[in-house]
């Protein structure tokens, strides 16, 4: 929803990214693809997570089908204004739209101070509770799990882990892992054992052990096939040292990372004023690291306003071709340069766990990422 660094441009707003956590696992109706089913899923079951909230984010939301009532969590990577100035206004709009459900915010402790100041000085009233999770506290917890769990349903959950990055202020990456369990009942096995369809079948599918009328005890695990879909996306805040993400990128389907400049421009900026380092990454710096990490899908964002939105490598005007070629010089995976309202479908790998003899646990489908058009609905 926002892909510009520092300031908005006529084509780009400042940083904000929405991740819809849709339960599209399993067979789609009428043979539809997952991308098609994405647009048809019930609006009431479309939870989403907001990563960063630059000024104007709520205005961007008005051009999409995202609902503030379905917002499950807000994650703020760091305290610079182009990543958080839109937060108070968005919360106020959520209140005025009638939201009452508790909202989780995962952010630096300073963001809580900011919200307190707005509450006092502007009489901001929120009719819903904020579950504020301070990043500093999560990172200091023993066990080094660095995770926040959000349970969307009995079979659908998110684990959000946090990685410290390198920037002028404390900046972070959020690793969002969605896990969906799809349980199917082995009806053929039940019928073969002389157990006809009844209410007991429903209980077995819900994971309950049951006893038949003739006293036979049935263990749910013996009749359930559990297909587990896991999708992991890592979204990094401002960062001049991509190697900070080495551990976070394990088993990751997609990385979203800033690429504020080309490597040539970044080098010139650092040389021109040695006393001030913007502490951002170039497209080449990020792409070189991701190539060595083995991650096959990379979206670059957070571009300096100096780069115009068109793609023409022959133009003397800095444009997105400069960023693209900088990255492509070292990266051979799937590369996208983000545009406001761009929409991607990320399908994680699926593990199938059978109950029959000889069945095996293993990956049945590899992850993939595809561009599915603009999320702008007007």
Give the residue numbers annotated as catalytic, written as ranges.
82
β 71-75/48-53 pair status: parallel
Q: Which of 106, 110, 111, 115 is nearest to 75 (CA)?
A: 106
Which pair of structure tokens corresponds to residue 329?
A: 């010089």
Give the distance between the most distant pair of CA atoms in the chain: 85
Which pair of structure tokens corresponds to residue 132?
A: 């504020």
Q: How many CB atoms lie within 10 A of CB 352?
A: 17
β 342-347/334-337 pair status: unpaired
Q: Is the CB of residue 46 less than 8 Å from the CB of residue 35?
A: no
Measured between its terminal Cα atoms, the distance across the chain in Å is 14
Triad 338, 340, 341: Cα angle to 5°: 105
What distance in Å separates the CA atoms of residue 375 and residue 378, rounded to the nearest whole number?
Answer: 9
């Amino acid at each position: 929803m926002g892909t510009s660094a520092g300031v908005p441009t006529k084509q780009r707003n400042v940083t904000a990214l929405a991740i819809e956590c849709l339960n599209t696992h399993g067979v789609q109706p009428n043979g539809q693809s997952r991308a098609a089913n994405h647009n048809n899923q019930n609006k009431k079951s479309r939870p989403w997570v907001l990563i960063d909230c630059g000024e104007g984010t709520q205005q961007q939301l008005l051009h999409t089908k995202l609902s503030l009532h379905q917002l499950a969590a807000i994650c703020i990577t760091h305290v610079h204004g182009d990543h958080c100035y839109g937060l108070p206004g968005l919360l106020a709009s959520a209140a005025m739209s009638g939201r009452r459900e508790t909202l989780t915010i995962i952010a630096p402790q300073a963001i809580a101070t900011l919200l307190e100041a707005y509450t006092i000085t502007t009489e901001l009233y929120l009719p819903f509770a904020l579950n504020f999770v301070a990043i500093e506290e999560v990172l200091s917890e023993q066990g080094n799990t660095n995770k926040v769990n959000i349970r969307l349903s009995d079979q659908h959950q998110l684990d959000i882990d946090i990685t410290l990055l390198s920037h002028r202020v404390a900046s972070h990456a959020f690793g969002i892992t969605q896990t969906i369990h799809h349980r199917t009942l082995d009806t053929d096995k039940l019928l073969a054992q002389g157990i006809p369809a009844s209410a007991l079948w429903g209980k077995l599918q819900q994971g309950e052990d049951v006893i038949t009328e003739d006293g036979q005890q049935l263990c749910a695990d013996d009749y359930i096939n559990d297909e587990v879909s896991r999708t992991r996306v890592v979204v990094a805040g401002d960062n001049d040292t991509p190697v900070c993400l080495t551990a976070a990128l394990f088993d990751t389907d997609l990385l979203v990372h800033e690429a504020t400049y080309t490597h040539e421009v970044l080098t010139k900026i650092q040389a021109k004023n040695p006393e001030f380092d913007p502490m951002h990454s170039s497209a080449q710096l990020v792409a070189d690291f991701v190539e060595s990490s083995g991650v096959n899908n990379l979206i670059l964002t957070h571009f300096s306003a100096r780069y115009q939105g068109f793609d023409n490598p022959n133009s003397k005007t800095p444009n997105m071709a400069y960023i693209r070629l900088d990255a492509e010089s070292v990266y051979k995976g799937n590369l996208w340069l983000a545009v406001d309202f761009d929409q991607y479908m990320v399908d994680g790998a699926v593990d199938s766990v059978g109950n029959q003899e000889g069945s095996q646990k293993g990956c049945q489908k590899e992850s993939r990422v595809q561009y599915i058009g603009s999320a702008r609905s007007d």
